[in-house]
Amino acid sequence: MLLAAVLFFFSVSIAQIPQGYYNSTAGLYGTVLQSALHDIIKNHTVVSYQSLWYYFESTDKKSDGTVWDMYSDVPGGTPPYVYYFNTNQCGTYHTEGDCFNREHSWPKSWFGGEVEPMYTDIFHLYPVDGYVNGMRNDNPYGEVTSPTWTSENGSKIGNNVTPGYTGKVFEPLDEYKGDLARTYFYMSTRYYTEDSGWPGSDATTGSQLKPWAMTLMLQWDSQDPVSQKETDRNNAVYLIQHNRNPFIDHPEYGQEIWGPNAGISTLSDGTGKLVIYPNPSHDKAFMILPGNIAEQTFDLTTTNVTGSQEKITYTTEGNRICADISNLPAGIYFSNLTVSGKTYVGKIVKN
């Protein structure tokens, strides 16, 4: 048993995206891309609810051996309490710090309860404080300015203040908002067209997010980029379920499916503006072009607000250009693209 555990954890450390895993998605956007991703990640290996206690030790373990609880963690600081695997599992709880349990970040009531494979899909299940989990209940995620309750790490419950919904929500720490947004993108894609009979919620219709929730999740996805924690967890879950979260492997997929420019096939809106997404961007920005750029001559420059030209690596991918902005400091930049004798201008916000 010990040898098996050692081999499993070694495998986690070397897991990566299989070669060709996403080949079938090349050049796709919108629901066509979502459908292609669904076909890649569907029919995953289903585990038992009881086995989650064991698997959490490979998917959600900090370097110091404690449970990585997003509802109690204080990134860069000292959490109010910590949990240990095989020691602090709930049981009953009466207050924060009593024990940790299995949180359905996409509440099970939204898909009908203890229904497989959703009920034990590790991609949306996390080990969290039992009391905080109970306080969150099945409320959506959102943003709160006047909390009615605040956890010891600063997570909040109260009425949502973002456009489109004013009901009760749970707001996690900023450092984990992107994690949860990409979890929701996974759920909407893994169960795309497989959600017949799902009751839904104030945030969802079947497996799909309602507009207010999608707008917020896209914002969180942009503001909190993929972390090493997410990459490691994605690799670990892949070894268990044999599918992946595409939105961790390819953060651009969220914008390409649900973003305001998803599926755009023309470069200009008629005013000479260059379509750039996601915007703000962190590592890569994409510029949509008419036709196939490989068959056209173009000139592309990017400058900062002082007018100085930035050195950026550009690659062409079908009808778009990918700009690597990972080395740029946070700020505002302007791209000028001349193609077929016409110039287009766009603004990139680097976060």
Tens of pLDDT, residue by residue over 199-240, are 999 999 999 999 999 999 999 999 999 999 999 999 999 999
pLDDT tens-digit series, residues 271-282: 456 678 887 788
Longest dimension (CA), the chain: 70
Band of the pLDDT at 243, cuts 50, 70, 90? very high
Residue of higher predicted confidence among 29 and 187: 187
pLDDT tens-digit series, residues 138-174: 999 999 999 999 999 999 999 999 999 999 999 999 9
Residue 292 has pLDDT above 60, yes or no: no
Q: Identify whether the C-beta of residue 166 lies closer than 8 Å to the C-beta of residue 159.
A: yes
Phi/psi at 90 (5° precision): -75, 145
Q: Identify whether the C-beta of residue 188 lies closer than 8 Å to the C-beta of residue 161.
A: no
pLDDT recorded at residue 317: 74
CA geometry: angle at 69 spanning 65 and 70, to 5°? 135
Band of the pLDDT at 58, cuts 50, 70, 90? very high
Give all domains of the chain, ordered by start, each with its CATH number: 15-128+175-258 (no CATH), 276-350 (2.60.40.1220)
| Whole-angstrom distance, CA of residue 291 vs CA of residue 109 | 45
Closest CA to 185 of 137, 235, 249: 249
Residue 294 has pLDDT above 80, yes or no: no
pLDDT recorded at residue 71: 97
pLDDT tens-digit series, residues 74-93: 999 999 999 999 999 998 99
Closest CA to 224 of 179, 188, 172: 179
Residue 115 has pLDDT above 70, yes or no: yes
Band of the pLDDT at 127, cuts 50, 70, 90? very high
Query: What percent of the chain stands above pLDDT 90?
Result: 66
Mean pLDDT of 293-300: 68
Task: Return all residues near 36 (Cβ < 8 A) that are at least 6 apart.
Answer: 24, 25, 28
Phi/psi at 311 (5° precision): -90, 110
Give me the helices (H) in 29-169, please: 30-41, 52-59, 130-136
